[in-house]
């Protein structure tokens, strides 16, 4: 069983920054696809960042490229999401997800992700 716990959300003004953390069970980052996802009221959940096992490949949603950066702590048990130049449209609940790669090494679609944290709220005011 993989445990994921997000933290670091809060309220900021547009243009500000926040750094989210996802504390994961040991070895999760090394062996799983991991991602940051977000969902705001009335909208579908979307993938913000997708990391292949051990960060071998990382993909960012077009809307956050150049503004968001994913990183991991020294022990690779914490995945961070540094968010800069925040916009009101970034307001959402942010979730950390993890799932084993599918056959062939790719990552599953978010609806097939196995493990989720409870989320952390990010609110960006104009």
pLDDT at residue number 74: 86
Q: What's the pLDDT at 77?
A: 93
Average pLDDT of the chain is 96
* Model pLDDT, residue 1: 87
Count of H helices and E strands in the chain?
1, 11
So what's the pLDDT on residue 96? 98
* 59-100 per-position pLDDT tens digit: 999 999 999 999 999 888 999 999 999 999 999 999 999 999
Neighbours of 108 (CB within 10 A): 14
Average pLDDT (13-23) is 98
Confidence of residue 38 (pLDDT cuts 50, 70, 90): very high
Find the mean pLDDT for residues 101-125.
94
Provide mean pLDDT across the span 14-22.
98
Q: How far apart are CA 75 and CA 82, in angstroms?
A: 18
Backbone angles phi, psi at 110, to 5 degrees: -60, -30
Phi, psi of 12 (to 5 degrees): -140, 165
CA distance 87 to 15: 6
Provide the 3-class DSSP secondary structure of residue 41.
Answer: coil
In the predicted structure, residue 114 carries a pLDDT above the cut 90: yes
- How much is the pLDDT for 10? 98
């Amino acid at each position: 069983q993989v445990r994921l716990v997000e933290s670091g959300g809060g309220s900021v003004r547009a243009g500000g920054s926040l750094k989210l953390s996802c504390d994961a069970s040991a070895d999760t980052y090394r062996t799983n696809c991991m991602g940051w996802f977000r969902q705001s009221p009335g909208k579908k959940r979307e993938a913000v960042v997708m990391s292949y096992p051990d960060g071998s490949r990382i993909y960012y949603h077009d809307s956050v490229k150049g503004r968001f950066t994913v990183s991991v702590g020294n022990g690779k048990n914490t995945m961070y999401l540094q968010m800069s130049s925040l916009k009101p449209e970034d307001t959402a609940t942010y979730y950390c997800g993890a799932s084993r790669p599918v056959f062939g090494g790719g990552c599953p679609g978010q609806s097939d992700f196995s493990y989720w944290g409870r989320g952390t709220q990010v609110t960006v005011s104009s």
